[in-house]
Structure 1
Amino acid sequence: MRLLPGLAVAAGGLLLAFAVHLALPVVPVLTLCVVIGVVLGQLPALRERLDGAWKPGFALAARRLLRIGIVLLGLKLGLGDIVDLGAPTLLAVVVVVVLTFFGTLLLGRLARLPGDEPLLLAAGFSICGVSAIGAMAAVTRSKPSEIAVPAALVTLCGSLAIVVLPLLHAPLGLTDLQFGAWAGASVHDVGQVVAVAQTAGASALALAVAIKLTRVLLLAPLVAGVGVYRRFSQIEVTDAASAPRPPIVPLFVLGFLAAMLVRTFLPVPEAALAAADFAQTILFGLALVALGSSIRVVSLVRTSGRSLLVGLASWVLVAALAWGAVVLTTA
């Protein structure tokens, strides 16, 4: 029963996000969930409930439900979708992800961002936005405050991409298919990729989604790699020899891979895939309302100016690298 108040509030925020999305389809539901959560977190009258009665339900949404959503994300991707892209495109996607990840990580370290923020920002901007941040946070066991800022920044920059990238389509001289590839290789969230790429037509949209989901596939080895590093790092071990260590490969990552294999080798009905996609949106939406509520704008403005600069720099970095990769592979 103690979970119900927080879950009910998160569900209310999700319903409101759907309502606004129906009125303004250009704004993704998950982006609205973050905004609604942030608004809740700024209301002084709600502060006691956020830290009290609503906290258990919000904690469940921000962690357990988010991980289940990540597992369902695997049903979006089959191995055939990856093979069809061809070796040059696949190599370009891997290079863009790796350079963006380590470039953002370096920027975060140079800016002296606190805790795991550099790592979470790197995961979110290089792979798949909030989903990657949640997956990485599960391995690093990051605090909610460390998750909230990267989630807000990756949502902000992904939303900016919906407006900015279509305006650059013609000035950059990209064909429709090149623009679709650029969107898939540079925009963070799957929904945001769809919003950007659909402006160039159905073929561009299909290519963008295939490239985007290939980036999503890299989430599993990246998270597993960080898990291995954290488990055997001497820095972690010396903190406390008796402290529980993170698993080498988190269970939800294995679930993601299993879901991808199911999509590849089993005849999953379209109705089941649509239901899983809807369920994933619901789970992510509840999680983002909860995560957004932990953001305090006053504190963010005072202490996270450097985080904002790193986020914007990473957004420009991934867009530039993806544009270069598209030009080189389609020349």
Structure 2
Amino acid sequence: MKIIKTKSFWLAAIMTLICAVAGILLAKLPYVNLIGALVIALLLGIAMQLTPSSLRAEAKGGMGFISNKFLRLGIILLGFRLNLQKLADAGIKTILVAAIAVTGTIFLTYWLSKKFGAEDELAILSACGCGICGAAAVMGVSPQIETNDEERKRENEVLAVAVVCVMGTVFTLLEIALKPVLGLSNSQFGIVAGGSLHEIAHAVAAGGAFGEASLDNALIMKLSRVLLLAPVALIVGYWYQHRLVKESAEEHTKKPGKLPIPWFLGGFILTSILGTFLPFSASFLDALVQAAYVFLGMAMAALGVSVNFKVIFKRGGAVFGAAVISSICLLVFMIIMSKLFF
């Protein structure tokens, strides 16, 4: 870990920590909370591109370390938010509805993105972001995708995050506006919000607009989707590895593939278990979750500093179009499920 001792790391750490903390604080403001702390940190990281090029060049090596290692640490700590007992108490129907919603949204978004001309990596990142939990899902799945073009991968990560941010924000406002005409109780609306909105921040903003029952159900349904982050990332990793092995065989190469070992996803599951069954205080768990958002925010800011947006704007149409259609389908599905089963 020599990089930890270098000026590059500490400079990058200070720059990204400012973005992460500012993102958390700004996300507490009315209306701004619809965007979410992680996306704000990403935007502030993009704004860091206006700093002197010499400063960014000095911090470049540290940025790569933070966007990689701090991302994994943040995902691990985020597991403390996932209370498995609450999910069990909510009943098997909540988990089943979440599983169907996540699976259907991922497949539909991926298929539409490919139909509209998006490249494979961008399509799967956007699909997982829309299907599971927004930016955290994009960044959780991305390490499972092997690539030789890291710059292209960073562009795909940022574009996928942008997709889920825009879709989630638009649909948060849309669902709040539609609630009076949908004939949903507050509890049912919470199920819809948690099951159809992309970021945890979006589900909290929409569910919280109609009281405690709505907010509680929104969080339970949303966390039921978050629970699927680990298995989806494992499946994506296995799928990509299988494809690499197949492509190598077709090219008559002997390069052996190695199965992905997502230790950070194992950590995510472990912290979920610890947070559920050990007698931690609520304030201590909140502190751990806040630490998770600090580390994730730093990773997002590091991503924003290094991304090339000129390239991204040229490739965004396909996934945005796919996300619009799949988000509408997901909303309709959750409205039907809420009326039938909740």
User: TM-score under structure 1 normalisation?
Assistant: 0.90
What is the match of residue 128 of structure 2? 123
- The alpha carbon displacement at 1:205 in A equals 0.6
1:220 equivalent in structure 2: 230
1:96 Cα deviation after fit: 0.8
Report the equivalent of 1:208. Answer: 218
Q: Note the C-alpha offset of 1:137.
A: 0.6
1:152–1:49 distance in 2 versus 1, CA, 3 Å? farther
1:101 lines up with 2:120 in the alignment: no
Task: Please tell me whether the aligned partners of residues 154 and 188 of structure 1 are also in contact (alpha carbons under 8 angstroms).
Answer: yes
Q: Are residues 89 and 274 of structure 1, via their aligned partners in 2, closer, same or farther at CA, if it must alter by over 3 Å?
A: closer
Aligned-pair distance for 1:298?
3.1
Contact persistence 2:116–2:318 (CA under 8 A): yes
Aligned to 1:329: 341
Q: Would you say 1:163 and 2:173 are equivalent positions?
A: yes
Deviations 1:272-299 (A, max 9, x none): 2011011011011111112223444433
- Aligned equivalents of 2:100 and 2:195: distance in 1? 10
CA offsets per residue over residues 156-178 of structure 1, 9 Å max, x none? Answer: 22222332221111121111011
Aligned-residue identity in percent: 26
Name the CA distance, whole Å, in 1 between partners of 2:92 and 2:21: 42
Instruction: Report the secondary structure of 2:193's partner residue.
Output: helix
2:155 and 2:312 in contact (8 A); partners too: no
Structure 2 distance, partners of 1:213, 1:65, is 22
Q: Distance in 2 between matches of 1:206 and 1:129?
A: 19
Partner of 1:56: 61
Q: Residues of 1 paired with 2:20 and 2:114: CA distance?
A: 34
Q: What is the RMSD of the two structures over their aligned residues, measured on CA atoms?
A: 2.2
Matched position secondary structure for 1:113: coil
Corresponding residue for residue 257 of structure 1: 269
Residue 308 of structure 1 and its aligned partner are, at CA, apart by 2.1
Deviations 1:190-221 (A, max 9, x none): 12211111001011111111111111111111
**One-letter amino acid of the counterpart of residue 17, structure 1:** G
How far apart are residue 236 of structure 1 and its match? 5.0
Evaluate the alpha carbon distance shift between residue 317 and residue 62 of structure 1 in structure 2; reply closer, same or farther with a 3 A threshold: farther
Q: How does 1:294-309 map to 2 (within 5 A)?
A: 294-309=306-321
- In the other structure, the counterpart of 2:186 is 176
Give the drift of 1:244.
Answer: 5.7
- The Cα offsets for residues 4-26 of structure 1, whole Å up to 9 and x where unpaired, read as 22222112222433453455464
Equivalence for 1:67: 72
Match status 1:231 vs 2:228: no
1:190 aligns with 2:190: no
1:242 pairs with one of 255, 273, 283: 255
Q: Aligned-pair distance for 1:315?
A: 2.4
Tell me which residue corresponds to 2:42. Answer: 34
CA distance in 2, matches of 1:26, 1:256: 28
Structure 1's unaligned 5+ residue stretches are none
Question: Residues 196 and 295 of structure 1: is their aligned pair in 2 closer, same or farther, counting only changes over 3 Å?
Answer: farther
What SS class does the counterpart of residue 58 from structure 2 fall into?
Answer: coil
Kindly tell me: are residues 120 and 47 of structure 1, through their superposed partners in 2, closer, same or farther at Cα, counting changes over 3 Å?
Answer: farther
Structure 1 counterpart of 2:328: 316
Alignment of 1:13 with 2:24, yes or no, is no
Change (3 A) 1:219 1:236: farther
**AA partner of residue 131 (structure 1):** A
Query: Per the alignment, in what secondary structure is the counterpart of residue 141 of structure 1?
Result: coil
Deviation at 1:300, TM superposition (A): 2.7
1:151 is displaced (CA, Å) by 1.1
Aligned partner of 1:284: which letter?
A: L
Residues in 1 aligned to 2:197 and 2:209: alpha-carbon distance in whole angstroms: 14
d(CA) in 2 for partners of 1:80, 1:295: 40
Shift of 1:185: 0.5
Cα distance in 2 for partners of 1:299, 1:179 equals 39
Per-residue Cα deviation, 1:31-62 (whole angstroms, up to 9, x for no partner): 32122223334x4x645654x22222222222
C-alpha distance in structure 1 between counterparts of 2:42 and 2:202, whole Å: 14
Q: Is the 8 A contact 1:37 1:290 kept in 2?
A: yes
Name the stretch that deviates more: 22-31 or 128-137: 22-31
- The whole-number CA distance in structure 2 between the counterparts of 1:26 and 1:74 is 25
Deviation sequence 1:89-144 (CA, Å, 0-9, x none):
32211111110011111011112212401111111100011111111111113521
Is the Cα–Cα contact under 8 Å of residues 31 and 159 in structure 1 kept in the other structure? no
User: What's the offset of the Cα at 1:223?
Assistant: 1.1
Cα gap change, 1:170 to 1:106, in 2 (>3 Å): same
Deviation at residue 271 of structure 1 after TM alignment: 2.8
Q: How many residues align?
A: 326
Residue 64 of structure 1, CA deviation: 1.1
Report the Cα distance in structure 2 between the residues aligned to 1:18 and 1:29, rounded to whole angstroms. 5
**Alpha-carbon distance in 2 for matches of 1:317, 1:72:** 32
Compared with structure 1, are the counterparts of its residues 86 and 156 closer, same or farther at alpha carbon in structure 2 (3 Å cutoff)? same
Corresponding residue SS for 1:170 = helix
Q: How many angstroms does 1:263 deviate by?
A: 2.1
- Equivalent in the alignment of 2:3: none
